[in-house]
Amino acid sequence: MRVVLAEDLFLLRDGLVRMLEAYGFEIAAAVETGPELSKALAELEPDVALVDVRLPPSHTDEGLQCALAARRARPGLPVLVLSQHVEQLYARELLADGNGGIGYLLKDRVFDADQFIGAVRRVAAGGTAMDPQVISHLLSRRSQDKPMGGLTPREREVMELVAQGRSNTAIAAQLVITERAIAKHTSNIFGKLGLPPSDDDNRRVLAVLAYLDRG
Amino acid sequence: MLAAGRGLVLSVYGLAVSIIMFVLAVLSITFILLGIGVFTTPVVLEGVRRHANQRRLWAADWSGVRIPVPYRPFPPDLRKGVTGQVERTTLLLKDPATWRDLQWLLVDMTAGTVLAVVAAGLMIYPIESVVLAAGLWRAFQDDPYWYGFVPVSSQLTGLVALALGIALFHLGLRAAEPVLRAHFLLARTLLAPTPEQTLARRVDRLTETRHEAVDTAASELRRIERDLHDGAQARLVAMGMNLGTIESLIEKDPAQAKKLLATARESSAEALTELRDLVRGIHPPVLAERGLGDAVKALALRLPVATEVTVELPGRAEASVESAAYFAVSEALTNAVKHADGDRIWVDLHHGEGMLRISVTDNGGGGARIGSGSGLSGIERRLGTFDGVLAVSSPAGGPTMVTMELPCALS
């Protein structure tokens, strides 16, 4: 699997390259600035891109903008965005096209290599990987609010894991209930969020987006 | 027509009060030598100031002439009783604005009144010509009455007078407004602060806000130092210690070493979380990455109360202004969440006429005030450094609206 990596701090870039190579990824390019990233994304056609939000030369959200622009040019291009902080605002923008293949994680998550690599693979396969923190802000807010979208506590728990990008199997394992129960919960959630029934995987992305939008 | 009426008010009411005030002030100040003046002067000068302020108000309302108030504020710890009264009189007499007020009274009752009379007269005088032409001329058949430069003694001359009156009336329609304005401009030469006064006030204000800015910066640094010292720094020490133990345990007791490794990793994650929160408190990352509008939007998403943010900023302000505005909004929002007890908040940010205008409105119980130690006075201090101002409207029962204005340019 070919990866384009954009990170301006040498130590972190180097560490990520080593980790990805150790897990059998091929590094197509490891760049440190926004313009280099745009060029690499356009020319190398990677299977997945790992992008730091803040990149030189502007040191604003250049990485995020490059990733969004590349996805406009090539819809569904898998991008995993890394940052020192997570914002619901950015999560919404990333998910807005509803195409999936999106990840948004705190840089801390690289501490757990297995989980991190799992997230990279999930994104590359067109799934999502949202940092639990993006969702947890929402949940803490909801608890003081009226029950949003009428989700039951159990459904919210499931929603949180769906938002993180877990599969039904993984969610079932974590909550120690059967996969069939999870399937029932998710279809209830989709219904309550007003998403039409279909077998499309994108429905999970749309569900997250709908959930974020109610914030 | 309106201008004529206003001119009439100025020439009758204004003249009368100016004369009375001037006489009283001169008498009162003279009587200071006898002792009585000490007690009357503050009262009389207060009256003079009120009279002058009334004129400042009319200037702004009627002719759009802005006349700033030049009076020095009294110190807050003014004593009561006789000593206080003496102090008050001395302060008033030392204030150059007092003497300029008296000069203005003189000018107002002479040149000022003439201008006011002209503004009023151009519209009122023509009425007489109508009366003359209508038949009053009969009374002056033997001894001509001079209407302007027309000797009225017959119907014909009466009609000439009427023509003159109509001409004057038309002139008045055009001229009354500018003449009234001229009256206020004349008042401004004496009622507005002199350049020295303006500078002196500016220096006072700058000194005050500089002190506050330095104090705030120092206490912020102390807070950051304490947070680092008790937080991330302590965690890194613990982590280092753990790693040292792991090093010595790794061969003897791998299982224990593994357990400690997990704690070390936990410590590093906690240190990161603390650093992240600290960074948010120093300069929020979204502010650096996206600017004020999105930073406030991101902030609103974190609040436990539903918050609607409207942003109309065509560019970005200077980093220091953005930061001050952000933290001001943040404090206003915290206040609203903590004290207002409402279930909705609206934030509006826009830029116009060189001003960044921000309003934070909630539908809570109201009753918020700018007072010592409240979050609102903190906002006032923050904005003061940038010549920004804060206004709070919070009637009991709500809603509360906090408005902030910061002069700044966008790029």
pLDDT tens digits, residue range A79-88? 999 998 888 8
pLDDT tens digits, residue range B20-45? 989 998 888 888 888 888 888 888 88
State the span(s) of chain A assigned CATH 1.10.10.10: 134-213
Subunit contact A87:B301, Cβ cutoff 8 A? yes
- pLDDT, residue A164, reads 82
- Report the residue from B265, B286, B301 with minimal CB separation from A215: B301
Tell me which residues of chain A, numbers 119 to 158, contact chain B at a CB-CB cutoff of 8 Å: 137, 140-141, 144-145
Nearest chain A Cα distance for residue B263, angstroms: 13
pLDDT band at A4 (very low <50, low <70, confident <90, very high): very high
Q: Searching chain A, which residue's CA lies closest to the CA of residue B289?
A: A60
Domain assignment of residue B232, yes or no? yes
Nearest chain B Cα distance for residue A108, angstroms: 7
- pLDDT, residue B140, reads 80
Contacts (Cβ under 8 Å, ≥6 apart) of A111: B265, B268, B269
- pLDDT, residue B114, reads 86
pLDDT tens digits, residue range B231-285? 888 888 888 888 889 988 888 899 999 888 888 888 888 888 889 889 888 889 9
Subunit contact B302:A60, Cβ cutoff 8 A? no
Kind and range of the H or E element at A192?
helix A179-192
Nearest chain A Cα distance for residue B319, angstroms: 13
**pTM (global) more than 0.95:** no
Instruction: Please list every residue in chain A whose beta carbon sits closer than 8 Å to the beta carbon of residue B289.
Output: 53-54, 60-61, 64
ipTM above 0.85, yes or no: no
Sign of torsion, CA A89 A94 A95 A96? positive
Tokens of B69: 């108030």
Instruction: Please list every residue in chain B whose beta carbon sits closer than 8 Å to the beta carbon of residue A88.
Output: 298, 301-302
The mean pLDDT value of chain B amounts to 87
Range of the domain at B336: 286-407
Query: Is B72 within 8 Å of chain A by CB?
Result: no
For the residues B160-188, what does the mean pLDDT come to? Answer: 86
Q: What share of chain A has pLDDT > 90, as a percent?
A: 40
Tell me which residues of chain A, numbers 80 to 99, contact chain B at a CB-CB cutoff of 8 Å: 83-85, 87-89
- Mark whether B259 and B315 lie in a shared domain: no
- Mark whether B101 and B184 lie in a shared domain: yes
CATH topology of domain A134-213: Arc Repressor Mutant, subunit A (1.10.10)
Tell me which residues of chain B, numbers 305 to 344, contact chain A at a CB-CB cutoff of 8 Å: 306
Please tell me the CATH code under which domain A2-130 is placed. Answer: 3.40.50.2300
Q: Which CATH number covers residue B353?
A: 3.30.565.10
How many CB atoms within 10 Å of residue B98?
A: 21
- Mark whether B81 and B115 lie in a shared domain: yes
Domain count, chain B: 3
Angle between helices B292-302 and A132-144 (to 10 degrees): 60
Subunit contact B276:A59, Cβ cutoff 8 A? no
Domain assignment of residue B387, yes or no? yes
Query: Of B205, B213, B218, which is closest to residue B378 (Cα–Cα)?
Result: B213
Instruction: Order the strands of the B355-362 sheet from edge to edge.
Output: B306-312, B344-352, B355-362, B400-407, B389-393
Domain assignment of residue B197, yes or no? no
Query: Is A61 within 8 Å of chain B by CB?
Result: yes
Q: Searching chain A, which residue's CA lies closest to the CA of residue B294?
A: A89
- Report the residue from A85, A88, A215 with minimal CB separation from B285: A85
Q: CA of B233: how far to CAs of A106, B58, B228, in Å?
A: 21, 63, 6
- Report the residue from A53, A85, A145 with minimal CB separation from B276: A85
Subunit contact B286:A89, Cβ cutoff 8 A? yes
pLDDT band at A48 (very low <50, low <70, confident <90, very high): very high
* pLDDT of residue A207 exceeding 60: yes
Distance separating alpha carbons of residues A81 and A130, to the nearest angstrom: 10
Subunit contact B286:A141, Cβ cutoff 8 A? no
Eight-state DSSP code of residue B212 = H
| Mutate which: A51, A65, A86, A87, vs B, most B CBs within 10 A | A87
Query: Is B64 within 8 Å of chain A by CB?
Result: no
- Mark whether B183 and B211 lie in a shared domain: no
- Mark whether B46 and B117 lie in a shared domain: yes
Instruction: Please list every residue in chain B whose beta carbon sits closer than 8 Å to the beta carbon of residue A144.
Output: 304
- Mark whether B33 and B120 lie in a shared domain: yes
Instruction: Please list every residue in chain A whose beta carbon sits closer than 8 Å to the beta carbon of residue B280.
Output: 85
Query: Is A10 within 8 Å of chain B by CB?
Result: no
For the residues B322-346, what does the mean pLDDT come to? Answer: 90
* pLDDT of residue A29 exceeding 60: yes
- Mark whether B149 and B42 lie in a shared domain: yes
- pLDDT, residue B152, reads 80
Subunit contact A84:B288, Cβ cutoff 8 A? no
Q: Which tops the pLDDT comparison, A209 or B391?
A: B391
- pLDDT, residue A17, reads 94
Distance separating alpha carbons of residues B309 and B287, to the nearest angstrom: 15
